[in-house]
Structure 1
Amino acid sequence: MASEAQRSEIVEPRRGRPRSEASHQAVLDATARLLRASPYEELTVEAIASEAGVSKQTIYRWWKSKAAVVLELMLTGDAEIELVPMPSTGDLRADCLTWIRGMIVEAFRETHVGMARSLVAAGLQGDPGTERLLQQASMWDHGLLAERLREAERAGELREGVDIAAAASAIGDPLIFRMLIGSAPSRGWAESLVDVVLTGLLRPEAGTDRP
């Protein structure tokens, strides 16, 4: 029969694991709150730890950097960093053009380019948890662009069977690539990108005259 000390050793891991999972979620929730209140460049591991009520060592137990925490939030859809609004006028092409015109101004500011590079670097660090999220999730499953495309889908404007995440990725990924290389695209390039993607998405009768 196990002694009291032995029984304590047996059950202690089971009591500790929920606390660890709770701390993990507390860090994610705290990071999401901080990002809503201040820009990414002002975010620090110290601030996250203070907001979450955990130690810095607890954060570094699961993530290698603040970028890795933010990347997990984005991949799980728990935080979305939206740089410009997405209008909803009933004209999908016009709305996407307005959105991408705003993006080529806002996204290529130095601070946002730095954030994008940090998040990509975090994704390349080889952390098993991050790799699983990258395989299982897509940033483009959610966010303003994906929601506007779903709105068009519900309105019957898109071809049947369109993969919304893939469609949003087709517009968003080229912008991210241009951010990483530090080369802001021209307005004409961005508008052509929208036209190419929407040509494959829209039902023929759903097209509108170009502004």
Structure 2
Amino acid sequence: MDDEQRRRGRPRSAEADRAILEAARDLLIADGYEQLTMQAIAERAGVGRQTVYRRWPSKAGIVAEAVMAGLLSPVPSDMAGGADATAPADLRAWLHAAAVGLSDATNLTIVRALAAAAAETDAGAIRLYRAFTEQGRTDLIDLLRTAVARCEVRADADLEAAADAIQGAVLYTALAYRPPKVEHLDSLADLLLAGLAPR
């Protein structure tokens, strides 16, 4: 190794990075976020603990990176739609898909881990929002805009606030250690649409 290489430090190993991320994923799914430790990740990945810390300062960073790399991703909600669709049907379909996704224990563990990771650093929260939450929020706003065009939702409604309320309710139930129930989400859809209906 020449002097220039020493000044730059040793190059990162793509194989080590992948092994660390896969180890974090496997341990997270098996044991949950609270039991996830840097030492356990290092042991499972077959690297030293300092190797892990040189790449990521905390387990939150590793979880965020695993999401960005596509190694951790809950099942997304499928959007409804079509010429005969209505706002209640569209919103219920979106919420039912979320309930189905979060009824899976692995998906529920991942969502809770993402929330914990996002709470640790602002940078992690931004990255996780862009990788996971942003698309669902955009889909909901588009759904509600379509409902406005059909005159099912009033034109002056704050659609971003409505989308936040919908996503927030789903995530709250997931973080409260109970998958969302379909009947609860149907009631949520009714309440929101009643508030958004043309006067």
State if a TM-score over 0.5 links the two structures.
yes
1:131 and 2:122 aligned: yes
* Structure 1 position 71, deviation (Å): 3.2
Question: Whole-Å Cα distance in 1 between the matches of residues 7 and 192 of structure 2?
Answer: 52
Instruction: Tell me the equivalent position of 1:141.
Output: 134
Q: Is there any run of 5+ residues in structure 1 with no aligned partner, and where?
A: 1-7, 206-211
Secondary structure of 1:88's aligned partner: coil
- Asked whether the equivalents of residues 108 and 182 of structure 1 are also in contact (C-alpha less than 8 Å), the reply is no
Instruction: Tell me the equivalent position of 2:95.
Output: 100
Identity score, percent: 21
- Asked whether the equivalents of residues 45 and 56 of structure 1 are also in contact (C-alpha less than 8 Å), the reply is no
* Structure 1 position 133, deviation (Å): 3.6
Q: Cα gap change, 1:181/1:13 in structure 2, threshold over 3 Å: closer, same or farther?
A: same
- Asked whether the equivalents of residues 64 and 124 of structure 2 are also in contact (C-alpha less than 8 Å), the reply is no
- Of 58, 66, 73 in structure 2, the residue corresponding to residue 64 of structure 1 is 58
User: TM-score of the superposition, structure 2-length normalised?
Assistant: 0.57
Instruction: Tell me the equivalent position of 1:194.
Output: 189
Instruction: Tell me the equivalent position of 1:169.
Output: 164
* AA matched with 1:87: M
* AA matched with 2:123: R
1:150 and 2:138 aligned: no
Question: Whole-Å Cα distance in 1 between the matches of residues 191 and 45 of structure 2?
Answer: 45
Question: Whole-Å Cα distance in 2 between the matches of residues 79 and 197 of structure 1?
Answer: 34
Question: Whole-Å Cα distance in 2 between the matches of residues 185 and 146 of structure 1?
Answer: 21
Q: Cα gap change, 1:147/1:188 in structure 2, threshold over 3 Å: closer, same or farther?
A: same
- Asked whether the equivalents of residues 77 and 142 of structure 1 are also in contact (C-alpha less than 8 Å), the reply is no
Instruction: Tell me the equivalent position of 1:87.
Output: 79
Question: Whole-Å Cα distance in 2 between the matches of residues 78 and 200 of structure 1?
Answer: 37
Question: Whole-Å Cα distance in 1 between the matches of residues 159 and 65 of structure 2?
Answer: 23
- Asked whether the equivalents of residues 99 and 180 of structure 2 are also in contact (C-alpha less than 8 Å), the reply is yes
Q: What's the RMSD between the two structures over aligned residues?
A: 4.9
Q: Is there any run of 5+ residues in structure 2 with no aligned partner, and where?
A: 31-39
Instruction: Tell me the equivalent position of 1:209.
Output: none
* Structure 1 position 107, deviation (Å): 0.6
Question: Whole-Å Cα distance in 2 between the matches of residues 84 and 133 of structure 1?
Answer: 20
